[in-house]
């Protein structure tokens, strides 16, 4: 199964856009955890056990494990192995930002895909597609290519003009139109730059984006969701790490991590549900105006016809008027000829256009999403209502 299919399935099943970052900085681990033989792994395992039903992916930043040498790499490997064993449906993203000449990248490929067995990796585009070819040629693994990063200094190079457009726009265009031959390319775009996120979305269309910057980095989550989701109301992996895993530093860290993760997931769902409803209202407004215009024309036409008929009837003889009345009665539809329109289906019976299945239908949980299916407005409203309902229920129950 490809990375994209794996992501589509879990986003559908769990109704979530949240990615938890297992950036387990040893210095920030709770003191009691440091007493374990493999503290980073034990910390990660506890976080995974309390959040696995809330996420669409986990992202592990290799730097926090490399800092501890072979001991840290061992725990990174243990974490990946645990996820593959306990939760194989959850994609693993290795945040390593690799990018070197081809032969060096072949070593990185073996480390990431053969040794750690991750599903995707972050890559640096600076050396060009030729250098990244060892990654790009593996169709079932994801390549998340840096485009517009979330750090404050990203504009120093990424906003430099290349011809008539900024470098980040050039990267977005090249990756989406030239590098993505196997459908395994994605972009990293910071949530801290919603305007640039909007621009990039318009360039890459429905391509999936990894969006860091929510939480400690202070991005506006609502602006990020509204700018980032694609035409199918998904297409973003929203990453949060420190705000979740280090929410509290005592024995209750895993429980607190779940609370924060659930809150973020619900907030993201509310924002995308609200956007769906807003889109629906905007799409219905022109239709309502067209109906009013058409009705006005019909009323004007009916009025003119009525005046003409009245004038004609006043000039008819009694016999002619009687024949006219009989003709009118003959044109009236008989009761058995009337077309009875069926009632609109209830919310629960409507199909979900985004996934091609009924909401919460367990019989179709493993179906992958259709590629380019146009949503029905009623169905779009159904999905928005479902997202909002689920999110508000979850918030109310806390």
Two structure tokens written together for 352:
């979900």
Q: 3-266: which CATH number, 3.40.50.1100, 3.40.50.2300, 3.20.20.70, 3.40.50.410?
A: 3.20.20.70
DSSP single-letter state for residue 366: T
Tell me the chain's radius of gyration from C-alpha atoms: 29
Which pLDDT score is estimated for 310? 52
Looking from the CA of 342 toward its CB, the CA atoms found within 13 Å total 3
Two structure tokens written together for 86:
């306990």
Catalytic position from the list 14, 74, 77, 97: 97
Backbone angles phi and psi of 68, in degrees to 5: -100, 15
Which pLDDT score is estimated for 301? 66
Two structure tokens written together for 169:
């726009």
3-class SS letters over 143-175: EEEEEECCCHHHHHHHCCEECCEEHHHHHHHHH
CB atoms within 10 A of CB 302: 10
Backbone angles phi and psi of 226, in degrees to 5: -65, -35
Closest to 192 measured CA to CA, from 160, 167, 227: 227
**How buried is 187 (Cβ within 10 angstroms: 0-12 exposed, 13-18 middle, 19+ buried)?**
buried
Give the separation between CA 171 and CA 184, rounded to whole angstroms. Answer: 15
Known active-site residue 97? yes
Q: Which residues of the chain fall below pLDDT 50?
A: 314, 330, 333-374
Exposure string over 234-266, b if 16+ CB within 10 A, otherwise e: bbbbbbbbebbbbbeeeeebbebbbbbbbbbbb
Give the position of tokens 């280090």.
Answer: 246
Closest to 260 measured CA to CA, from 272, 270, 248: 248
Exposure string over 113-131, b if 16+ CB within 10 A, otherwise e: beebebbbbbbebeeebeb
Sequence-separated (6 or more) residues with CB below 8 Å from residue 308: none
Alpha helix stretches (DSSP H) within 126-252:
129-136, 155-158, 167-174, 194-204, 221-228, 242-245
Which pLDDT score is estimated for 279? 74
Which pLDDT score is estimated for 309? 55
Looking only at the bridges linking them, the beta strands covering 165-166 and 161-162 are: antiparallel
In the chain, where the domains are located? 3-266
Give the position of tokens 């929510």.
Answer: 214
Which pLDDT score is estimated for 325? 53
Give the separation between CA 164 and CA 173, rounded to whole angstroms. Answer: 13
The secondary structure element, H or E, covering residue 78 is helix 69-86
DSSP state letters, 263-294: HHHHHHHHHHHHHHHHHHHHHHHHHHHHHHHH
């Amino acid at each position: 199964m490809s990375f994209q299919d794996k992501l589509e399935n879990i986003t559908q099943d769990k109704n979530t856009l949240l990615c938890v970052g297992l950036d387990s900085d040893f210095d920030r681990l709770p003191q009691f955890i440091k007493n374990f033989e493999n503290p980073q792994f034990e910390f990660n395992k506890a976080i995974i056990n309390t959040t696995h039903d809330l996420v669409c992916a986990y992202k592990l930043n290799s730097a926090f494990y490399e800092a501890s040498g072979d001991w840290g790499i061992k725990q990174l490997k243990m974490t990946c192995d645990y996820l593959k064993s306990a939760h194989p449906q959850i994609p693993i993203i290795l945040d390593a930002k690799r990018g070197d000449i081809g032969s060096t990248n072949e070593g990185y490929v073996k480390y990431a895909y053969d040794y750690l067995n991750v599903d995707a990796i972050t890559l640096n585009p600076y050396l060009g597609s030729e250098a990244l070819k060892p990654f790009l040629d593996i169709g079932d693994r994801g390549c998340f290519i840096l485009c517009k990063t979330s750090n404050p200094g990203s504009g120093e190079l990424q906003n430099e003009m290349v011809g008539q457009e900024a470098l980040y726009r050039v990267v977005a265009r090249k990756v989406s139109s030239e590098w993505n031959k196997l459908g395994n390319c994605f972009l990293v775009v910071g949530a801290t730059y919603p305007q640039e996120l909007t621009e990039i979305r318009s360039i890459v269309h429905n391509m999936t984006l990894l969006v860091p910057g929510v939480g400690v980095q202070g991005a506006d989550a609502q602006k990020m969701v509204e700018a980032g989701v694609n035409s199918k109301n998904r297409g973003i992996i929203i990453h949060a790490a420190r705000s979740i895993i280090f929410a509290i530093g005592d024995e209750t860290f895993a429980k607190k991590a779940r609370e924060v993760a659930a809150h973020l997931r619900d907030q993201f769902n509310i924002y995308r549900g609200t956007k769906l409803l807003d889109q629906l209202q905007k799409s219905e407004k022109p239709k309502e105006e067209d109906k009013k215009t058409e009705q006005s024309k019909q009323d004007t036409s009916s009025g003119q016809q009525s005046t003409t008929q009245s004038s004609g009837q006043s000039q008819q003889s009694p016999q002619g008027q009687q024949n006219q009345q009989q003709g009118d009665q003959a044109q009236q539809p008989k009761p058995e000829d009337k077309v009875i329109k069926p009632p609109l289906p209830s919310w629960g019976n409507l199909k979900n256009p985004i996934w091609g299945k009924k909401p919460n239908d367990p019989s179709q949980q493993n179906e992958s999403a259709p590629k380019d299916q146009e949503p029905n407005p009623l169905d779009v409203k159904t999905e928005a209502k479902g997202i909002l309902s689920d999110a508000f229920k979850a918030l109310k129950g806390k």
